[in-house]
């Protein structure tokens, strides 16, 4: 798999973005306040939205097909807490064979449709003692260990700056807001550095040792490509992680995707409560 190659040779990325955005506008002409990506086990937030329109990813021009179990693979447009949301119920991943430019195409479409704020959620493993299963983590920074970037390849000015600044990948303003809201709600929120790996295998004990030395607190297989594109487009990003498992050197145990989804669903009510309060306050 070459994650650097655009999946539609001969079709410029900017053209793909424009065609997908125009197609969506013909089906829902509303102005959207923010984009939300809902990760493994966290998609039930869309069931609390009103005035919804659900669109399968496969129906949207140039969108990849989602192949991951526990990802609904649909876009849900609707209202929640006084905001109009562009909510992705499930995302795309490099390990599915998608180019990272295709994985992040929805973020570019959000920007094209006028959104400047992006909330990214995901399920990930905790690799520090305090990050136990059922914890919620606030992403403060990341390590891109995926071996590539969605920003590589042919450059077009409409795609944003060629060399994005990454001194603040996750908005300090939004992080402070999330911490204050979590405190008000009595929901512990751990700050974490998130390591993104390509997957789909879970980490070995030696890899966990390496990640700890590098300064990571959590590890997963998404978020970073979307953040890179959002920052290239000067969007504000908030990253929230559902910690679904824990891997510590000397205490490793078998892990399954089913277990990850089960734990994400179990902490779902607290996660949705926090997320709704953040959306309401934005």
pLDDT at 251: 86
Reading the block at residue 101, the tokens are: 């430019």
pTM: 0.94
Distance CA 229, CA 161 (A): 10
In this prediction, residue 236 has a pLDDT band, given cuts at 50, 70 and 90, of very high
Give 135-155 pLDDT, tens digit per residue: 999 999 999 999 999 999 999
CA atoms within 13 A on the CB side of 98: 22
Q: Rounded mean pLDDT of 236-257?
A: 92
Beta strands in 39-167 (DSSP E): 50-56, 74-80, 83-89, 117-126, 136-145
In this prediction, residue 2 has a pLDDT band, given cuts at 50, 70 and 90, of very low
Q: Where are the domains of the chain?
A: 13-281
Residue 83 has pLDDT above 70, yes or no: yes
Distance CA 134, CA 259 (A): 12
Reduced to 3 DSSP states, what percent helix, strand and coil does the chain have, rounded to the nearest 5?
Answer: 35, 25, 40
- Domain 13-281: give its CATH superfamily: Nucleoside phosphorylase domain (3.40.50.1580)
Residue 87 has pLDDT above 80, yes or no: yes
Average pLDDT of the chain, as a whole number? 93
In this prediction, residue 7 has a pLDDT band, given cuts at 50, 70 and 90, of low
Exposed/middle/buried for 248, CB within 10 Å: 0-12, 13-18, 19+? middle
- How far is residue 72 from each of residues 4, 87, 91, 126, 245, measured CA to CA in Å? 26, 12, 9, 25, 22
Residue 8 has pLDDT above 80, yes or no: no
Residue 6 has pLDDT above 80, yes or no: no
Residue 167 has pLDDT above 80, yes or no: yes
Percent of the chain topping pLDDT 90 = 84
Q: Rounded mean pLDDT of 222-251?
A: 96
pLDDT at 85: 98
Q: Looking at per-residue confidence, does 127 or 266 come out higher?
A: 127
Q: Rounded mean pLDDT of 254-267?
A: 86
Residue 246 has pLDDT above 80, yes or no: yes
pLDDT at 215: 98
Say which residues have a Cβ less than 8 Å from residue 237's Cβ, sequence separation at least 6. 118, 119, 120, 169, 170, 171, 174, 227, 230, 231
Residue 200: asked if its preceding bond is cis (omega within 30°), the reply is yes
Residue 67 has pLDDT above 80, yes or no: no
Range scoring the smallest mean pLDDT among 13-17, 77-81, 238-242, 251-255:
251-255
In this prediction, residue 238 has a pLDDT band, given cuts at 50, 70 and 90, of very high
């Amino acid at each position: 798999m070459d994650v650097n190659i655009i999946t539609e040779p001969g079709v410029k990325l900017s053209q793909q973005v424009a065609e997908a955005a125009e197609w969506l506008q013909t089906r829902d002409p509303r102005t959207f306040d923010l984009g939300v990506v809902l990760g493994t086990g966290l998609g039930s937030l869309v069931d609390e939205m009103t005035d919804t329109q659900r669109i399968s990813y496969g129906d949207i021009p140039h969108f990849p097909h989602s192949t991951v179990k526990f990802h609904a693979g649909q876009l849900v447009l609707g209202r929640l807490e006084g905001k109009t949301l562009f909510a992705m119920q499930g995302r795309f991943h490099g390990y599915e064979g998608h180019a990272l430019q295709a994985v992040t195409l929805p973020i570019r479409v959000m920007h094209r449709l006028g959104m400047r704020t992006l909330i990214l959620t995901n399920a990930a493993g905790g690799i520090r003692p305090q990050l136990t299963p059922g914890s919620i983590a606030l992403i403060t920074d990341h390590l891109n260990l995926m071996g590539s970037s969605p920003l590589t390849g042919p450059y077009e000015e409409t795609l944003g700056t060629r060399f994005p600044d990454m001194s603040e990948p996750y908005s300090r303003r939004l992080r402070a807001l999330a911490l204050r809201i979590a405190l008000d709600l009595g929901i512990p929120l751990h700050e974490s550095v998130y390591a993104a790996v390509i997957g789909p295998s879970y980490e070995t004990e030696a890899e966990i040792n390496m990640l700890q030395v590098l300064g990571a607190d959590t590890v997963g297989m998404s978020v970073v490509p979307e953040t890179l594109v959002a920052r290239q487009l000067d969007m504000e990003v908030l990253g929230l992680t559902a910690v679904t498992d824990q891997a510590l050197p000397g205490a490793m145990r078998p892990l399954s995707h089913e277990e990850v989804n089960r734990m994400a669903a179990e902490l779902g009510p607290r996660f949705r409560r926090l997320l709704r309060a953040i959306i309401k306050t934005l």
